[in-house]
Amino acid sequence: MVNNEPLLDVRDLRVTLSNGVEIVRGVDFVAEAGKVVGIVGESGSGKSITMRAVMGLPPSQSKLSGSIKLHGEELIGASKRRLQQLRGSKIGLVFQDPMTALNPVITVGKLIAEALRLHNPGMSAAKAKQKAIELLELVSVPQPEVRANQYVHEFSGGMRQRVMIAMAVANNPEVLIADEPTTALDVTVQAQILEVLKDLQNQFSMGLILITHDLGVVAGAADTVIVMYAGKVMEKGPVREIFYRSRHPYTRGLLSCLPTISGREGTLQPIPGSPPLLSTRPHGCPFHPRCSMARDICRSDEPPLKQIDGVMSACHFAGELHGSASDQQISSVGR
């Protein structure tokens, strides 16, 4: 696809619960053909809820505002029928836990065939079964003819994830959202799953959105990285800028948790404390209770997301963060 227009354009997306609590606050991003957007943050940061809102699957009784455009078509306010037509055909989703997302009493081949026939009513059962086998082969499942007749419990964690990916790409979606696709997998299988996703993206020119809590997962896969905390974007920019010239203490804290080949000085330094509940978000910058750079303005005023050098950062003191983010620990900038 030779077109610079983004496949998916999300602007000022907000998700508000019935009690008035905003759990996603003004998220902006675009997904382009052949590009990977990595959305990173700890559990509870709002990244998965953001993507479910994009899919038209927000929490019950919640309200969406802002804009979600797929090829220029506004999805906020679209009918349930229209959203059902788009899910699986134009936007695919790889769920976080394949063991609970896949029906355990239906063979893998039938699961994929159902996804095919749902969006292709005229497809015969025989053709859908053959296509399911081809999709299993596409995601590198060995002996696809045999495996198509097996059940989910007969697959390893990595093979289950490949089945989820096969279902998600069955109808050639233009945008693929992968929600924690490497969770609970060993590092070798993680690399294999990421390689499968990248190969499929290149083959079908999809826009890929990769959701993860691990910055290391997106290091070699993403083109753009978005760092979320407490339902808000803390920092975003090209992957190289985020890794080597981050301008936010939270991002640097996540980087300080990553092991390196060189072994780095001392032990890994986790971010102190825990993420806040979205219902009891602190005043000012939501990260200030855990930030060693926090000052009075951080406790009273929430910083806007603004451009500094090659990234967008929501930090009052982004200009004071110099040097390599991969080398400098969060504690070294404390005051």
- The pLDDT tens digits of the residues spanning 122-144 come to 999 999 999 999 999 999 999 99
- pLDDT given at position 261: 63
Q: Is the pLDDT of residue 116 over 80?
A: yes
Same domain, 201 and 258: no
pLDDT bucket at 325, cuts 50 / 70 / 90: low
Q: Is the pLDDT of residue 211 over 90?
A: yes
| Tokens found for residue 330 | 């969060």
Global confidence as pTM: 0.89
Same domain, 170 and 308: no
Does any domain span residue 231? no
Q: pLDDT tens-digit profile of 155-209?
A: 998 999 999 999 999 999 999 999 988 877 888 888 889 899 989 998 889 999 9
Going edge to edge, which strands form the sheet with 8-16? 22-31, 8-16, 63-70, 73-74
Domains held by the chain: number? 2
Same domain, 152 and 297: no
Which residues form the domain of 106?
8-226
Does any domain span residue 2? no
Whichever domain contains 64, its CATH number is 3.40.50.300
Residue after which a domain boundary falls, among 170, 196, 226: 226
Residue after which a domain boundary falls, among 201, 226, 251: 226
Does any domain span residue 139? yes
